[in-house]
């Protein structure tokens, strides 16, 4: 076993070890609204559940040169956002939304995704997703980097509405085979669902 001290590595080397090790990662396609009403969309694979009481999720949005990305800025200004579960039916369009556009240009429009009004928050979602979650910002934590230049904004959102297509439900639960999620590995590699097996918990 090789022992490696993270402090001996560059940021990029740490990035390679982390994104190659923490796999597969689910991808949150996230929409936010700018203060000028532009619907922003971007994928985030630093994405997970925080708790189910009440339901909360987190996405970690990296900064570039200490600057907040549009998603973090908009979520902070508006106080809400929508997270969509990535699946095989629209992964190419989601990938297109990762383009670095200025805040005045909508990645949702660019990728041909279809905006749909939310029912509990201001920010619209997109129709293509089988599962989308309307979220209100619970906390935004600047972390890492230096005191004046954090490396990321960890956004924690409380889910205030689920939209779930009946086609992915089986006996009231979400069926992974019907959802066909896509997750991210390292670099340009993605993964579709592999073999599913069961283990009984002790």
The first and second tokens of residue 67, run together, are 């600057």
- Chain-centroid distance, C-alpha 106: 17
Nearer to ligand FMN, 14 or 62 (CB): 62
Q: In angstroms, what is the minimal distance from the CB of 183 to ligand FMN?
A: 9
- Smallest gap from Cβ 198 to ligand FMN, in A, equals 29
Answer whether 87's CB lies under 8 Å from 130's CB.
yes
Reported as type and span, the H/E element at residue 125 is strand 125-126
Residues that bind ligand FMN (CB under 6 A): 27, 40, 42-46, 60-62, 69-71, 95, 98, 100, 184
Cα–Cα distance for residue pair 145/81, rounded to 1 Å: 25
Q: How far is the CB of 58 from ligand FMN (least distance, A)?
A: 10
Compare residues 5 and 104 and give the one whose CB is closer to ligand FMN.
Answer: 104
Q: How far is the CB of 128 from ligand FMN (least distance, A)?
A: 16
- E strand spans, the chain: 25-26, 28-33, 39-44, 47-52, 55-62, 80-85, 115-116, 125-126, 131-143, 152-164, 169-170, 173-174, 182-184, 190-192
Residue number with CB closer to ligand FMN (11 or 175): 11
Closest CB 41 distance from ligand FMN, rounded Å: 7
Which among 119, 151, 149, 144 is positioned nearest to 132, based on CA atoms? Answer: 119
Residue with smaller CB distance to ligand FMN, 54 or 141 = 141
Q: Which is nearer to ligand FMN, 137 or 169 (CB)?
A: 137
Provide the pairing of β-strand 39-44 with 28-33. antiparallel
């Amino acid at each position: 076993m090789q022992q490696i001290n993270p402090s001996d590595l560059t940021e990029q080397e740490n990035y390679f070890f982390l994104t190659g090790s923490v796999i597969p990662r689910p991808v949150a396609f996230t929409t936010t609204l700018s203060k000028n009403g532009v619907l922003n969309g971007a994928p985030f694979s630093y994405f997970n559940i925080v708790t189910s009481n009440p339901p909360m999720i987190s996405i970690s949005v990296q900064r570039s040169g200490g600057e907040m990305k549009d998603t973090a800025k908009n979520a902070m200004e508006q106080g809400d956002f929508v997270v969509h579960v990535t699946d095989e039916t629209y992964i190419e369009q989601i990938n297109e939304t990762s383009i670095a556009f200025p805040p005045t240009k909508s990645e949702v429009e660019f990728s041909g995704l279809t905006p749909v009004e939310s029912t509990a928050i201001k920010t619209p979602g997109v129709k293509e997703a089988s599962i989308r979650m309307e979220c209100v910002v619970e906390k935004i934590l600047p972390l890492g980097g230096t005191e004046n230049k954090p490396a990321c904004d960890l956004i924690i959102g409380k889910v205030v509405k689920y939209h779930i297509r009946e086609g992915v439900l089986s006996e009231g639960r979400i069926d992974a085979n019907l959802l066909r999620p896509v997750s991210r590995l390292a670099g340009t590699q993605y993964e579709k669902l592999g073999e599913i097996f069961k283990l009984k918990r002790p």
